[in-house]
Amino acid sequence: MSQLPEVSEAVEVLGRTPALLEHWLTGLSEPWLHAREGEGTYSPIDVVGHLADNEEVDWMPRLELVLEHGESRPFTPYDREAFRTRFVGWPLERLLARFGDARRENLDKLIELRLRPADLDRTGMHPALGSVTVRQLLAGWTVHDLTHVAQVARVLAKRYRDAVGPWREYLGVLGDRERART
Amino acid sequence: MSQLPEVSEAVEVLGRTPALLEHWLTGLSEPWLHAREGEGTYSPIDVVGHLADNEEVDWMPRLELVLEHGESRPFTPYDREAFRTRFVGWPLERLLARFGDARRENLDKLIELRLRPADLDRTGMHPALGSVTVRQLLAGWTVHDLTHVAQVARVLAKRYRDAVGPWREYLGVLGDRERART
């Protein structure tokens, strides 16, 4: 009944993201929650909205598609702006709950799949990236959480880019990507 | 009795870091906790050790020094490797508790100082950066937390840099700084 390391390692990280975001962002004031690097980029609250939307339509549905249909049915392209119309006016707490519920359901499903080593090599068709394996999908899902956690830290930090004065040179995150989507 | 925005905004972020790290890292397996970008860089558990050490000797003691002695007494240089000898063999949970306790004490002290606008412009002497203001120190302390949170996300993500395959181009954090100290 034990899970493959590729599954259990992903579950470790993926299972913790909702609680980490909840303890980090709940109660933060508006200037922090709505900080952005520029037009068309995500604020911390946008990241949570994106993760809530993404969780329902991206990684886990794609994994199921691969297992059922292989490369014969390409993934539906993902719309990074969909959350803006889907969750208009939702407060942070509601977005966090939605994300946490969807994540829990998906990880329960993933565990119940009891993937075997051969399943990790099965391939699906990404609409832009081409052929991808289940192994890559599990790793991609995990790193997708982490890239957005790094993004939240970076976006919050940059509110104070000028305020830190000469300390700037010691605070590497302030020099990280500009106007990044993730 | 209300605090200056520079103080209350810093307290918002600084007060949340111990809980976010606790919910993110507690229970993660060793390969995640000890992942590193290379020799001489911090793993996630190193980051917690560093923050626990740093919290007791860096930002708050320096703030008190500025308020008492201005530029006449330069700050003691900070040793980024001190935690390695100070907390040899400490498990994550103990490091997290040490950091959380020290952080709480420091934020209580900061709030009790009831800084006034003029205090924010007072200056101290950084051993490498020269003259710095209290305003810069508060912002620097805040961004210091965030740079290390971003670092943890980046270091965890890079364990899977190759594993994500073609998804790499969508996952910006994988291209962020190499062998960074923060």
What is the SS3 assignment for B28?
coil
pTM for this model (two decimals): 0.96
Q: What is the DSSP letter of B38?
A: S
Please classify residue B154 by burial: count the beta carbons closer than 10 Å to its beta carbon, then call 0-12 exposed, 13-18 middle and 19+ buried.
buried
Percent of chain A with pLDDT over 90: 91
What's the gap between Cα B24 and its chain centre? 16
Query: Quick one: pLDDT band at residue B180, thresholds 50, 70, 90?
Result: low
What's the gap between Cα A45 and its chain centre? 13
Tell which B residues from 72 to 131 touch A, by Cβ distance under 8 Å: 126, 129-130
Contact assignment for A153 to B130 by CB distance below 8 Å: no
- CA-wise closest residue to B12 among A38, A30, A171: A30
Which of A176 and B117 is assigned the larger pLDDT? B117
Cross-chain CB nearest to A136 (options B143, B167, B175):
B167
- CA-wise closest residue to A110 among A7, A17, A14: A7
State the pLDDT at residue A177.
72
Query: Which chain B positions have a beta carbon within 8 Å of A23's beta carbon?
Result: 16, 19-20, 22-23
- CA-wise closest residue to B79 among B44, B50, B102: B50
Mind listing the pLDDT tens digit for each residue in B138-176? Answer: 999 999 999 999 999 999 999 999 999 999 999 989 988
Query: Quick one: pLDDT band at residue A1, thresholds 50, 70, 90?
Result: low
Contact A47, A180 (CB under 8 A): no
Query: Quick one: pLDDT band at residue A176, thresholds 50, 70, 90?
Result: confident
Residue A138 has pLDDT above 60, yes or no: yes
Report chain B's C-alpha Rg in angstroms: 18
Could you tell me which chain A residue has the CA closest to the CA of B32?
A9
- The residue whose two tokens read 């609250």 is A45
Average pLDDT over chain B, rounded to an integer: 95
State the pLDDT at residue B112.
97
Other C-beta atoms within 10 Å of B39: how many? 6
